[in-house]
A and B are shown apart, each in its own frame.
Chain A
Amino acid sequence: MKRREFLTTLRRYVATTVSVPLISVVPSYRRTVVASLLIPMDDAQGDHLKAYGVTYRVVQAGIKAEWLLNYRGGSFLLPDGPAIRRDAALAGVSVEPVEEAHVTAIRGEIEASNMDAVPLEKAPKVAVYVPPNAPPWDDAVTMALQYAGIQFDKVWDFEVIGGKLVGYDWLHLHHEDFTGQYSKFYLIYAGAPWLAEMVRFNTDAAKRLGFVTVPDLKKAVARKIRDYVTNGGFLFAMCTATETLDLALAAERVDIAAAFADGTPMDPQADAKLDWSKALAFTSAQVEPNPQIASFSDIDGHQVNAGPRRQPLGAFKLFNFSAKIDPVPTLLVQNHRQVIPDFYGLTTSFLRSRLKPSDVVLADEEGAPWVKYINGNHGKGTWTFFGGHDPEDQQHQIGDPPTDLSLHPHSPGYRLILNNVLFPAAKKRELKT
Chain B
Amino acid sequence: MSARLKPRLGTLLVVATTVLLCARALPAQAIGQGFELERAGQYDQAAAIYLATLRAEPTNLSALLGLERVLPPINRLGELLPAAQRAAAASPSNVALRGVLLRTYVTLNEPDSGRAVALRWAAAAPGDEAPYREWAMALEDAHRHGQARDVLLLGRRALGRPSAFGIELAELSQLSGDWEGAAREWAAALTDAPVQLPNAASALAEAPDAQRERIARLLTGGTPSTLTRRLAGELLLNWGQPLRAWAVFEPSVATPSADAAFAARRFADLAGARSTPDARRARALALARYADLAPEVGGAAARARADAARAFIEAGDRVAARAVLERVAQDSNAPPDAQRLAQRAVVEALIEGGQRNEAAQQLATNARLSPDDRASLRLQLVRARIAAGELDRADTELARDSSVEALALQGWIALYRGRLREAQRLFLAAGPYAGDQRDAVDRTTMVALLQRVPDDSFPELGSALSLLARGDSLRAVAALRLAAARLATGESGGGGRPDLLLLAGRVAARLDTLQQGTALALFDEVVSTGGQGAAAPAAELEWARLLERRAQTAEAIRHLEHLILTYPGSAVVPEARRELERAKGAIPRS
Contacting residues, chain A, for B490 (C-beta < 8 A): none
Query: Which of A59-67, A85-93, A310-318 forms contacts with chain B?
Result: A85-93
- A367 interface hit (Cβ, 8 Å): no
**Inter-chain contact B587/A406, CB cutoff 8 Å:** yes
Q: Is the interface of B mostly helix, strand, loop or mixed?
A: helix
Q: Are B39 and A162 in contact, with the CB atoms below 8 A?
A: yes
9-residue interface stretch from A110-118, A143-151, A230-238: A143-151
Task: Identify the closest chain A residue to B564 (Cβ).
Answer: A90
1/0 per residue, CB under 8 A from A, across B573-585: the answer is 1100110110001
Q: Distance in Å from the Cβ of A87 to the closest Cβ of chain B?
A: 10
B96 at the interface (CB under 8 A from A): yes
Say yes or no: is B586 at the interface (Cβ < 8 Å to chain A): yes
CA distance A422 to B202 in the complex (A): 42
A198 to B129, CA, bound (A): 23
From A86, A89, A149, name the one whose CB has the most chain B CB atoms within 10 angstroms: A89
B39 touches A89 (CB 8 A): no
Complex: chain B residue closest to A211, CB-CB: B65
Residues of A within 8 A of B39 (CB): 161-163, 224
A193 to B580, CA, bound (A): 34
A403 to B587, CA, bound (A): 9
A138 interface residue (CB < 8 Å to B): yes
Determine whether the beta carbon of B40 is less than 8 Å from that of A163: yes
CB distance from A347 to the nearest CB of B (A): 23
Whether A402 is near chain B, meaning CB under 8 Å from some CB there, is: yes
B195 contacts the other chain (CB 8 A): yes
The answer to the question of A167 belonging to the interface, with a C-beta cut-off of 8 Å to chain B, is no
Q: A89-B565, A91-B577, A92-B574 are in contact. Are A401 and B198 (CB under 8 A)?
A: no
**Contacting residues of chain B (186-238) with chain A, CB-CB under 8 angstroms:** 195, 198-199, 202
A149 to B577, CA, bound (A): 13
- Interface residue B588 (Cβ < 8 Å from any Cβ of A): yes
What chain A residues lie within 8 Å of B40 (beta carbons)?
163
Q: Within 8 Å CB of A196, what residues of B?
A: 199
Q: Is there an interface contact between B588 and A143, defined as CB atoms closer than 8 Å? A: yes
A406 to B41, alpha carbons, bound, how many Å?
44
Interface flags, B158-200, vs A, CB<8A=1, else 0: 0000000000000000000000000000000000000100110
Across the interface, name the chain A residue whose C-beta is closest to B66: A210
In the bound complex, CA of A401 to CA of B62 (Å): 42
Bound Cα distance A224, B40 (Å): 13
Is B76 an interface residue when CB atoms closer than 8 A count as contact?
no
A163 to nearest B CB, angstroms?
A: 5
Chain A nearest CB from B269 CB (Å) reads 14
Chain A positions 84-114 with a Cβ under 8 Å from a chain B Cβ: 86, 89-92
A153 contacts partner chain B, Cβ-Cβ < 8 Å: no
Contact of B568 among A89, A161, A405 (CB under 8 A): A89
Q: Cβ of B577: which chain A residues have Cβ within 8 Å of it?
A: 90-92, 406
Chain A: CB-nearest residue to B561: A90
Which residues from B are CB-within-8-Å of A403? Answer: 588
- Interface status of B24 (Cβ within 8 A of chain A): no
Instruction: State the CA gap A264–B41 with chains docked (Å).
Output: 33
Q: How near does chain B come to A254, taking the closest CB pair, in angstroms? A: 15
- Known A-B contacts A92-B577, A406-B587; the reply to A210 vs B68 at CB < 8 A is yes
Contact B198 A147 (CB under 8 A): no
- A143 and B41 alpha carbons, distance in the complex (Å): 34
Q: Using known A-B contacts A90-B577, A406-B578, determine if residue A146 contacts B586 with beta carbons closer than 8 Å.
A: yes
Residues 210-235 of A contacting B (Cβ, < 8 Å): 210-212, 224
CB < 8 Å neighbour of B587 from A89, A90, A209, A404: A404
On chain B, the number of residues with a Cβ less than 8 Å from chain A's Cβ atoms is 29
User: Cβ of A191 < 8 Å from any Cβ of B?
Assistant: yes
Most A CB within 10 A of own CB, among B68, B195, B199, B585: B199
Chain A's closest residue to B35 (CB) is: A220
- Complex: A211 Cα to B62 Cα, angstroms: 8
B61 at the interface (CB under 8 A from A): yes
- Is B393 part of the contact surface with A, judged by Cβ < 8 Å? no
Q: Within the complex, what minimum Cβ distance (angstroms) separates B526 from chain A?
A: 22
For B64, give the chain A residue with the smallest CB separation: A210
Given A90-B565, A90-B577, A210-B69, answer yes or no on A401-B195 (Cβ-Cβ < 8 Å): no
User: Which residues of A have CB within 8 Å of B96?
Assistant: 212
Chain B residues positioned under 8 Å from A404 (CB to CB)? 587-588, 590
Do A89 and B68 have beta carbons less than 8 Å apart? no
Q: Looking at the complex, which one of A86, A89, A402, A406 makes contact with B581 (CB distance below 8 Å)?
A: A406
Chain A hits for B199, CB < 8 A: 191, 193, 196
Number of interface residues of A (CB under 8 A): 27
User: Across the two chains, which residue of chain B brings its CB closest to A191?
Assistant: B195
Which of A133-147 touch B at CB < 8 Å? 138, 143, 146-147
* Distance, CA A212 to CA B97, complexed state (A): 11
Interface centre among B581, B585, B590 (most CB of A within 10 A): B581
Contacts of B585 in A (CB 8 A): 146
As a 0/1 sequence over residues 416 to 438 of chain B, the CB contacts with chain A under 8 angstroms (1 = contact) are 00000000000000000000000
Does A90 lie within 8 Å of B588, measured CB to CB?
no
- Cβ–Cβ contact A149 & B586, under 8 A: yes
Q: Which A residues are CB-close (under 8 A) to B68? A: 210
In the complex, what distance in Å separates the CA atom of A163 from the CA atom of B39? 6
Contact between chains at A138 and B588 (CB < 8 Å): yes
Across the interface, which residues of A come within 8 angstroms of B564, CB to CB? 89-90, 92
Complex: A38 Cα to B107 Cα, angstroms: 63
If the complex has contacts A90-B565, A143-B588, are A210 and B65 also in contact, measured as CB distance less than 8 A? yes
Interface residues of B in 23-41 (CB under 8 A from A): 39-41
Please state if B565 and A86 are interface contacts (CB–CB under 8 Å).
yes
Most A-side CB within 10 Å, residue of B574, B578, B580, B586 = B586
Residues of B within 8 A of A402 (CB): 588, 590
Contact string against B for A residues 376-407, beta-carbon threshold 8 Å, 1 for contact and 0 otherwise? 00000000000000000000000001111110
Q: Which residues of B contact A211 (CB under 8 A)?
A: 65
The residues of B that contact A86 with a CB separation of less than 8 Å are 565
Task: Name the CB-closest residue of B to A163.
Answer: B39
B578 touches A212 (CB 8 A): no
List CB contacts (< 8 Å) of B537-590 with chain A: 561, 564-565, 568, 573-574, 577-578, 580-581, 585-588, 590
Q: How far is the CB of B64 from chain A (nearest CB, A)?
A: 9
User: Across the two chains, which residue of chain B brings its CB closest to A190?
Assistant: B195
Within the complex, the shortest CB–CB distance from A192 to chain B, in Å, comes to 9
Taking CB atoms, residues of chain B closer than 8 Å to A406 are: 577-578, 581, 587
Which chain B residues lie closer than 8 Å to A92 at the CB level? 564, 573-574, 577
Point out the residues of chain B lying under 8 angstroms from A90, CB to CB: 561, 564-565, 577, 580
Q: Closest CB of chain A to B103's CB: distance in Å?
A: 10
For A162, what are the chain B residues with a Cβ–Cβ distance below 8 Å?
Answer: 39
By a CB distance below 8 angstroms, the chain A residues around B62 are: 210
- Sample of 17 A–B contacts (CB below 8 Å): A86-B565, A89-B565, A90-B565, A90-B580, A92-B564, A92-B573, A146-B585, A146-B586, A147-B587, A162-B39, A191-B195, A193-B202, A210-B66, A212-B65, A403-B588, A404-B588, A405-B587
Given contacts A402-B590, A404-B588, 6 further A-B contacts (CB under 8 A): A91-B577, A146-B586, A163-B40, A191-B195, A196-B199, A210-B68
The 6 closest A-B pairs by CB, nearest first: A401-B590, A210-B65, A402-B588, A163-B39, A210-B69, A92-B577
Residues on A lying within 8 angstroms of B by beta carbon are 86, 89-92, 138, 143, 146-147, 149, 161-163, 191, 193, 196, 209-212, 224, 401-406
